[in-house]
A and B are shown apart, each in its own frame.
Chain A
Amino acid sequence: MAKQSVLIPVFVFAGIIVLLWFGFQLSDPHLLPSQKLNDPVPDFELPNLMQADQTLTAVDLTGEVSLLNVWATWCPSCIAEHGELTRIFETTGLRIIGVNYNDDSKAARAWLKRWGDPYAFHIVDESGTLAIDLGVYGAPETFVVDADGVIRYRHVGVVTQKVFEETLTPLIQNLKDAS
């Protein structure tokens, strides 16, 4: 055994400390990276909230850059987010598509009546199948979908003005320029 071996514990400890130092720099442990980035929105056939006889599919998400916003009436922060989504729609005219997740459609319509409806349309995802295919794990979550229907970004949690202006706007601009 070499004399230097007594230094092994010091190195082990230093390694652990470096690891922890990285650990402290890491972001929110709640944020999962999306598995669906740069994949097309998964196929689905689900009704339209406002026109129950109309079936929506992934094709309906193509054509222009949009925000795909997963929301529900049981989600309190969705109310907080709603004002910002309304503002975004009113100031930029960006197409916002709702996914009404695990919800009661009647309650959802009442909710929209009360808070206003900046969405182009809402996909009714009563049993959460589309949400699971999207890798959604809570509400609200917001996806940026390009004109070809490909997912380019996911934001978990409330879209605030700061998030929209600092993160989403440049991204959307790039996508618009590219197409």
Chain B
Amino acid sequence: MIVELGHFCVVIACLLAFLQVVLPSIGLKQNSLQLMASASSLAYGVFVFTLLGFLALIYAFLMDDFSVAYVASHSNTRLPLQFKVSALWSAHEGSFLLWTLVMSIWTMMVARFSAPLTTDMRARVLICLAALGFGFYLFLLLTSNPFERALPFFPAEGADLNPLLQDFGLIVHPPLLYMGYVGLSVPFAFAIASLWGNTLDVSWARWSRPWTNLAWAFLTMGITLGSWWAYYELGWGGWWFWDAVENASFVPWLIATALIHSLAATEKRGVFKSWTVLLAIFGFSFSLLGAFLVRSGVLTSVHAFAVDPERGAAILMFLVPVIGGSLLLYSARAWDLRSRVSFKRSGRESFILGNNVLLTVSAAVVLLGTLYPLGYEALTGGDKISIGPPYFNAVFVPLMLVLMALMILSHRSRWWATERSLLTAGQGVFSVIAGVAAIGLSVAMGPIKLWIVGVAWLAMMIVLNLGYELYRRVRLKSNPVRRLLSQPLAVYAMVLGHAGIAVTALGIVTTVMMSEEADLYMAPGDRAELGAFDVRFYGTKNVEGPNYVADRGRVEVLREGEVIATLYPEKRRYLASQSIMTEADIHVRSLGDIYVALGEPLENGAWAVRVHIKPLVRFIWFGGVLIALGGVLSIFDRRYRVPMLRSSKQGTLAPSVEAAHG
């Protein structure tokens, strides 16, 4: 009954979303403020009913209601509680319900924090969001209903959640990633609404920025967590494989990264207007395209959902009007948006343009490599080609190196033009410091590698230039500390984000160049040497988990004869599915990970044991977290906070508050 009610709630949410498109549209036509304003109240309604539907499905999971087909195929009575909840979004139907919930959350947030917008602009933004939402609900209800019952013959026991997914990663990764994917619909809606209402002025950029930054921060966090999850869960020590599904999240990230920069230039200087609008459209379009491709199965991926090719048609029917329509609208209006503004090659606009060019080209290159196999197969009549890490690394890495080099100088740049002396001051000294530090790092890691020296030099230069920029901002002030603290949060957001890039780059290059791996034959008591470490294996014993049994190995890691860690990698057999899982154990050190996984049992209690040494691998995700934090921090900058806060007090305290902020 609860499940049917949940289904019904989602149907209501769908209808409300429809009303949220229709009523304010009529309002716009008839110039009725009341009808226009209905968009915000309806946004709350949509959210509440989606949430109820979502809770109903959680309830079905918690109650082990295996008459619901989706629950039966993704849960089990023995599944631990937290995984029963996260199992909800472990496959296509449920995760799409999560998608619609996230959509309703963003729409509600926009309704909540956009009061200072003019009523018609606000209505247009909400109409765009509601129209997207309506499409999602239709797709959910018509092609992917998670509430469907398998009556009258339903199983007494569920098939269980794929053991790979029985992990903390599943709990946090999809919600964050979806917050990012779907969050990009907000700048998209702002862009479309402005094109539609012909109100594309600078305030549009100002309004889009915090939303874009927040969505982008979520996307960053989602990708970072996904990479980390893959690393510790899959047992091969990899953290990125240029898989189609990874690329599907990376392309929107690259575009959104370009967008947050071009939005800054548009807001501050009025440049790149039409380009920024285009990026806002493309950012969300690619997040849609990517997220839907994953579900259509058209791209071969290790992460693919179980798919139904007939869903493909429904997906295209959704994508073509949404993206095609937006781009046509854009092409109708964009010509008038040309900015008559200029800047010099040394100006900050020029650096931001360079950033945008590089990021867009990178996104296009990743897209090319991801879609090329499709075109190849279509044109050759069935031949298959694989495009993997060797290709992507070869074409992507050079672009990123140029981007990092550009980033070094960008911190010194000023709007319109930058004096040469400002760009070059102190760079000689910095170069030497960065060079020494880079060589030092490489030597500390082992035999010297040019790649590490080069990338570390770029990373150090970025950090030094960031520091210099902060120093320059306070050096002539009477109270530097106070002055430092009173810098706008946006400055710190930028510092965090850029420093994060440096940290991630350092982690990537070191891990790639210096990792060591060995698959060892180890009998109990055996020792092996790997890099600076000794590894000693003490055999395995049987342990029982809530829904699995496992062989748990004991491995001691020694350095110079001292035991520095004891690790317990497991080989698990999950009872419901009888699938075997490798659960690696990782010793985390500041300078790198020691990663141990059990392979196959061999004769006489011996095992194949895989040991990885992964220097600085944590830097990759730590940098990602810094970048995301930068994004979050930026939205608390006073310039955005003031209008937002104002909206929360709208109507009541308006005059005095407005005076205070005026």
Q: Which residues of A contact B (CB under 8 A)?
A: 3, 6-7, 9-10, 13-14, 16-17, 19-27, 29, 32-33
Contact = CB atoms under 8 A, between A and B. Distances in A.
Nearest to A21: B316
Given A17-B320, A19-B371, A33-B382, A24 B330 contact: no
A16 B316 CA distance: 11
Contact of A9 (B298, B330, B371): B330
A37 B189 CA distance: 53
Nearest to A22: B378
19 contacts: A3-B335, A6-B330, A9-B331, A16-B289, A16-B371, A17-B324, A19-B378, A20-B296, A22-B375, A22-B377, A23-B374, A23-B378, A24-B312, A24-B313, A26-B374, A26-B377, A27-B382, A33-B382, A33-B383
Contacts of A7: 331
B385 to A, nearest CB: 11
Contacts of A6: 274, 330-331, 334-335
B378 A26 contact: yes
A10 B374 contact: no
Contacts of B383: 33
Contacts of A23: 298-299, 312, 374, 378
A20 B335 contact: no
Given A6-B330, A20-B374, 14 more contacts: A6-B334, A9-B331, A16-B289, A17-B320, A19-B375, A20-B293, A24-B296, A24-B313, A24-B316, A26-B382, A27-B382, A32-B384, A33-B382, A33-B383
Contacts of B335: 3, 6
B285 interface: yes
Nearest to A10: B327
Nearest to B285: A13
Interface string B286-314: 00010001001111100000000100110
Contacts of B293: 20
Nearest to B382: A33
B299 to A, nearest CB: 8
A6 to B, nearest CB: 4
Contacts of B300: 29
B377 A9 contact: no
SS class, residues of chain B in contact with chain A: helix
B153 to A, nearest CB: 23
Contacts of B377: 22, 26
Contacts of B70: none
Contacts of B330: 6, 9
B316 A17 contact: yes
A39 to B, nearest CB: 16
B58 interface: no
The 3 closest A-B pairs by CB, nearest first: A22-B378, A23-B298, A24-B312
A20 B297 CA distance: 11
B382 to A, nearest CB: 6
A19 B323 contact: no
A4 to B, nearest CB: 9
Contacts of A33: 382-384
B254 interface: no
A153 to B, nearest CB: 14
A44 B455 CA distance: 51
A20 B316 contact: yes
B323 to A, nearest CB: 6
Nearest to B310: A24
A13 B371 contact: no
Nearest to A25: B378
B229 interface: no
Contacts of A14: 324
Contacts of B375: 19, 22
Contacts of B374: 19-20, 22-23, 26
A25 B310 CA distance: 10
Contacts of B606: none
A17 B318 CA distance: 12
A145 to B, nearest CB: 22
Interface string B107-134: 0000000000000000000000000000
A9 B313 contact: no
B309 A9 contact: no
B456 interface: no
A16 B382 CA distance: 19
A172 to B, nearest CB: 22
B417 interface: no
A33 B377 CA distance: 11
Contacts of B278: 9
A99 B439 CA distance: 57
Contacts of B382: 26-27, 33
Contacts of A9: 278, 281-282, 327, 330-331
A124 B328 CA distance: 63
